Structures are given as structure tokens and as C-alpha cells.
Chain A
């Protein structure tokens, strides 16, 4: 088990280092003068030199990478160029992550029980009209892009129903209930996107677990359906669901760029979008790194949870 965790951690760190190097070298690769992109077309030559130096483009690639190592060790990722000039990139990213976390946590509270319930209901009602209805509608909604779902919600809920808000962020200093009220529409959009996906995975896992010999034995021993489920089936049936949730958690943090834009929500996706728009390299670098770290932690914990649920996986993962 320990070997498995260590192996995964080492892999994650190597991947992160790899990503970080690439993101750091972007200004070197990008066509055109990156300094001009940041300073704008009309900038004076002095300003251009200043920006070039701030970017570290005068240094050799080796020096740039060495500076990168230093910045990782000291957790100082430089100051923002243009998104919020002078602010440390790290604090900007952390604020945005906090906003994203609010959205993600609320989404999970709503999505996880509902979609697992959906998966269980459809598994027990396999091949009936209710199964087909839930799964097909769910899948149709998971197929459409999140911003499309968001725009539909704006038009059909936010405008006609006063209770739903157009803006994802509540006005400053409002209570937690108001914040939740403002987050409702983005959360519903996320629910639409994920419900069918997670429900389908749960459904498949439950059906195959219910078909197994051990479940049949348990039924034959005269246990009731809920008993069989709790004691024998759940552990196996929900493994795919946990795996999917693990990977999707990372996406919820960084992949909701378009949805954040629709609801004007200042999450980490929106921050990275702004950083790209204004060629703010320090913010971009820190943001991408943060999203990657969260994603890796999420998949790692999902893997660990699965290993805990299924001793066999534990074995095979350790041997790998």
C-alpha cells in the first residue's frame, strides 16, 4: 500500500515538474515578442525592455529554469503583470481557488447524492421506461457544453424567476444564504452536465454487482434488497463512481472556464482566462500549476479510496 502511494506521488511530482517547465518556457516558444504582447503595441522601447527583463527572457533557458526551481521552493511565483498589477500571483490564484471551492463544494453536495440515487434507481428499474427516461435525458444533458446549459438557465430560470440570480457571485458582505442563492444556477448547470454521466457509471456498476454470485447468494440467504446493497453490493458497485468523481473533481476546479464566464464568477478558470487575455505569465503559470495539483490530489485520493474499498486493487496496484 505504502509503495503504491509513494509510486503515485513520485509520478505526480514528475508530471507537475514537466508541466511547470513547459508553462514556464511558453514566452520563449510563443511567436512574436511576448513583451510587446504584454505592454501593448504602443509601448515605449524602455517599457519593452523593462517587461522583457521582468519576464526573464534575457536569461538563458537554464537560468530561467533555475529561477523556476527557486520560485517553487520559496513559493514566490512573482507578481501579476496585468490582471492585477503588482499583486502576488499566488494570492490572486488562492483567492480564485477559494471562489472555485465554494462552487465545487456546493455542486458536490447536490450532485453526488442525486446522481448516485439516479444510478441506483435506474439499476433497480433496469430496462423499464423510467430507466430509459432518466438515462437518456441525463446523457443528452451531459453531452451539451456547460455554457450552453448555463445560457439556457439564464433565459428560462434567471430572467422569469426572480429568485434565481444572473450573477454567480453575491454582492460583498452578504450572508451565506445569499451566496448559496447566487450559486444555485451555476450549480444546476453543473448538475445537468454531470448527472447523466455519474448516474450511468453508477448504474453500470450496480447492475454488474447485483448480477454477481455473491449478491445472488446474499439474496438466497433471505436478506432484503437494502441489506444486500449495504452489506455486499455498495462497496463494489460504487467503485467506478468514486473513480469518476475523482477525475471530475479536477475538472470542476479548472474546466468550468466557460460556465464561470456565463455567470461572471471569479473562479480559477476565469482567472486563467483573464491571465491569457492580458498575457500575464506569472498568474497563468501559478494558476495552471494549482489546477494540476488539485487534479492530481483528487485522482490520487480517488485511487486510495478505491484501494480501500477493494483489497484486490490494492494488491495489483502495489505490484505494479
Chain B
């Protein structure tokens, strides 16, 4: 983010004639975009060399492989009664043991990655798209629309996310579409608020003023002037929210709100189906999926943290 507003500012200053909104632009932006490229390169270098990012990518990468090609990592089926029999301890015949149904825990953990790694990114992407759009519009135009939407955002944020999710999913049914929509909807307010305050700060800068004086349309200013300058923030917000989406989905699965078949391999569901046996010392069918959840969330957070640091560097 640093430096890029200055670049656009220069572009605006060099082509102030109101009628030529496209004509003066390419020549004027050339040196500025060079500077931008340099900055972006620097940021990427900071990112790629940070240990947190590397560890995060390895963890998340492993789960992505598991969700795309589970067959490579295990030869069993998640609902296959393996030879070892039910409730076998980890090690020995089954790597991570077997659960009460005689299913291989390791296989279920591998297969469990797919659902979460589909639902969480889709809902995050939806939330980011809507939240960025609303935030930019509200931050740039302000006025009564902004006032009303801000109050609605406050109202939604005033209820714990999980509670809100339960109520919405209860109302509209436990289908995958509803779950994706709910997680997205619940993240929109926070994203909107972040982008809105960034857009307000950007709107006060000279480059937006000069674009206005050039006679650019509001749409052009929002999408071509302000948006590029908040992209770093959008990326950071996206990765942070992805972590929360995983958090929220697994919690909903644990609470039994994701519908579908409870015998499907799903980390949250597997924890909820097996955690009561911990008291009888059969810890592996719930602890390994729980550890998988923890590792994925930590991996995503490591990536988010590193991107945040790189963007701010």
C-alpha cells in the first residue's frame, strides 16, 4: 500500500485536463506503475522469505493435496471397515487408530479436508466481494446510505457470529448453500467496516480529489483509483477471514448444523461424534480430527500474518 497513492497522485497531476480522462492516463501512469512494480516485488520478497509464510504454505498445501487427491495419501475408503477392527489404538495396525465403526481415523482425517477446503474459500470469496464493494461505496459516497448500512452492520456485529449462524441456518435449512451464504453474510459486516474506513482515508487524499476535478465518474474513481490502493488490505482481510471461515464452519459442523450425512468424513462432525469417548480413554477418533482443524487454522493464520506484515513493510 505504501507509496502507491503517491504514484496515482503523480498520474493525476500530470493529466489534469478534464476532457481527456483516458488520453493522458497511459503515458502518465507509466513511471508510477514502474514504482508500484518495484514495491510489489519487494513485498513479495519479504513474504517468500518469512518463515511463518513457508510453514503456513506447507501445512495448507498438505491439506489441499489431501482434499484434491485423497487417494494418493491413503489406500482406504473413509467408510471402509478395515481389518484392524473397531477402537484400535494408534500405531500398529492402523496409523492413527480406528473409530467405533471400525473406520480408519487417518483416512477419515485425509478425506475430511475436502469439504472444509471447499466451503471456507467459497464463502470467504463471496464475503470479500460483497464487503469490498459495499465498503468502497460507503466510504466514497458516505451520506444516508452509509449511515443506514453502518447501523445495520453494527446490529449484525452485536450478536456473536456463531449464535447468528445457528439462527440463520435454523431458519433457512441446513443445506450447503445456506451454510456458505450464512458464513459469507456474517463476515460481510466486518470486511465492509475495514474497507470502508480505508476508503474514507483514501478519499481524502489528493489523487482522488484530482480525479474528481478531472471529471471522472464515481464508478471510475472507486474501481480504478481507490480499489487498487486498498487491494493489499483486501488480500490481508481475505486470508484473515479464511481462517475465521474455517473456524466457523468446523464449529457449525461440531454443533451439528451442517446437515448432510453424519457419517461423511468431516473434521468437525468427527470430533462431535467421538469426543464423548475421551472420558473412556478412546481419544484418537476425536483428537486427530481436532488436531487437523487446529493445524489448518494455524497454517492459514501464519500465511495471513505474513501477508499482513509484507503489505505493511
Residues of B contacting A15 in the complex (Cβ-Cβ under 8 angstroms): 151, 154-155, 158
Closest CB in chain A relative to B312 CB, distance in Å: 13
Q: Which of A147, A158, A276, A291 contacts B254 (CB 8 A)?
A: A147
Q: Is the CB of B163 within 8 A of A23?
A: no
Closest to A150 in B: B275
A166 to B279, CA, bound (A): 7
| Cβ proximity bits A131-153 to B, threshold 8 Å, 1 near / 0 not | 00000000110011111100110
Residues of B contacting A299 in the complex (Cβ-Cβ under 8 angstroms): 158
Q: Is the CB of A159 within 8 A of B167?
A: no
Closest to B280 in A: A159
Question: Is A258 close to B, CB under 8 A?
Answer: yes
A246 to B275, CA, bound (A): 32
Closest CB in chain B relative to A159 CB, distance in Å: 6
| Cβ proximity bits A2-44 to B, threshold 8 Å, 1 near / 0 not | 0000000001001100110001001001111000000000000
Mark out the residues of chain B between 251 and 305 whose CB falls within 8 Å of any chain A CB in the assembled complex.
Answer: 251, 254-255, 271, 275, 278-279, 281, 283, 286-287, 290, 293-294, 297-298, 301, 305
Residues of A contacting B297 in the complex (Cβ-Cβ under 8 angstroms): 143-145
Q: Is the CB of B254 within 8 A of A292?
A: no
Question: Is B76 close to A, CB under 8 A?
Answer: no
Q: Is the CB of B298 within 8 A of A144?
A: yes
Closest to A37 in B: B170
Mark out the residues of chain B between 180 and 213 whose CB falls within 8 Å of any chain A CB in the assembled complex.
Answer: none
Residues of B contacting A166 in the complex (Cβ-Cβ under 8 angstroms): 278-279
A19 to B287, CA, bound (A): 38
Question: Is B159 close to A, CB under 8 A?
Answer: yes
Q: Is the CB of A159 within 8 A of B170?
A: no
A contact residues, total (Cβ < 8 Å):
46
Q: Is the CB of B254 within 8 A of A11?
A: no
| Of A77-85, A90-98, A249-257, the one touching chain B | A249-257
Residues of B contacting A30 in the complex (Cβ-Cβ under 8 angstroms): 170-172
Q: Which of A18, A29, A155 has the most CB of B within 10 A?
A: A155
A30 to B172, CA, bound (A): 6
Q: Is the CB of B275 within 8 A of A276?
A: no
Question: Is B162 close to A, CB under 8 A?
Answer: yes
Q: Is the CB of B279 within 8 A of A158?
A: yes
Q: A151-B287, A152-B290 are in contact. Are A257 and B162 (CB under 8 A)?
A: yes
Q: Is the CB of B167 within 8 A of A151?
A: no
A41 to B146, CA, bound (A): 45
Q: Is the CB of A151 within 8 A of B286?
A: yes
Q: Is the CB of A29 within 8 A of B159?
A: no
Q: Is the CB of A272 within 8 A of B163?
A: yes
Question: Is A295 close to B, CB under 8 A?
Answer: yes
A146 to B298, CA, bound (A): 13
Residues of A contacting B167 in the complex (Cβ-Cβ under 8 angstroms): 23, 26, 276, 284, 288
Residues of A contacting B173 in the complex (Cβ-Cβ under 8 angstroms): 31-32
Closest CB in chain B relative to A44 CB, distance in Å: 25
Question: Is B166 close to A, CB under 8 A?
Answer: yes
Q: Which of A140, A159, A292 contacts B279 (CB 8 A)?
A: A159
Inter-chain CB contacts under 8 Å: number: 123
Closest to B246 in A: A145
A213 to B173, CA, bound (A): 57
Q: Which of B161, B172, B275 contacts A262 (CB 8 A)?
A: B275
Residues of B contacting A11 in the complex (Cβ-Cβ under 8 angstroms): 151, 154
Residues of B contacting A296 in the complex (Cβ-Cβ under 8 angstroms): 158
Q: Which of B166, B290, B305 contacts A151 (CB 8 A)?
A: B290
A251 to B154, CA, bound (A): 15
Question: Is A261 close to B, CB under 8 A?
Answer: yes
Residues of B contacting A291 in the complex (Cβ-Cβ under 8 angstroms): 159-160, 163
| Cβ proximity bits A220-257 to B, threshold 8 Å, 1 near / 0 not | 00000000000000000000000000000011001101
Residues of A contacting B151 in the complex (Cβ-Cβ under 8 angstroms): 11, 14-15
Residues of A contacting B286 in the complex (Cβ-Cβ under 8 angstroms): 151, 155
Q: Which of A18, A19, A273 contacts B166 (CB 8 A)?
A: A273
| Cβ proximity bits A258-273 to B, threshold 8 Å, 1 near / 0 not | 1001100000010011
A246 to B266, CA, bound (A): 34
Q: Is the CB of A155 within 8 A of B287?
A: yes
Q: Is the CB of B279 within 8 A of A143?
A: no
Q: Is the CB of A144 within 8 A of B293?
A: yes
Q: Which of A145, A254, A279 contacts B293 (CB 8 A)?
A: A145
Q: Is the CB of A151 within 8 A of B160?
A: no
Question: Is B247 close to A, CB under 8 A?
Answer: yes
Question: Is B9 close to A, CB under 8 A?
Answer: no
Q: Which of A29, A147, A152 contacts B287 (CB 8 A)?
A: A152
Closest to A269 in B: B163
Closest CB in chain B relative to A19 CB, distance in Å: 6
Residues of B contacting A148 in the complex (Cβ-Cβ under 8 angstroms): 250, 271, 290, 293-294
Closest CB in chain A relative to B145 CB, distance in Å: 17
Closest CB in chain A relative to B255 CB, distance in Å: 6
Question: Is A307 close to B, CB under 8 A?
Answer: no
Residues of B contacting A269 in the complex (Cβ-Cβ under 8 angstroms): 162-163
7 nearest A-B pairs in the assembled complex, by CB-CB distance: A255-B160, A155-B283, A144-B294, A15-B155, A143-B301, A254-B160, A276-B170
Known: A145-B254, A145-B297, A295-B158. 10 other contacts (CB 8 A): A15-B154, A151-B271, A151-B287, A155-B286, A254-B159, A257-B163, A257-B166, A258-B251, A258-B254, A273-B166
Interchain Cβ contacts under 8 Å between A and B, 12 examples? A15-B155, A19-B155, A29-B172, A140-B298, A144-B297, A147-B254, A257-B162, A257-B166, A276-B167, A288-B163, A291-B159, A291-B160
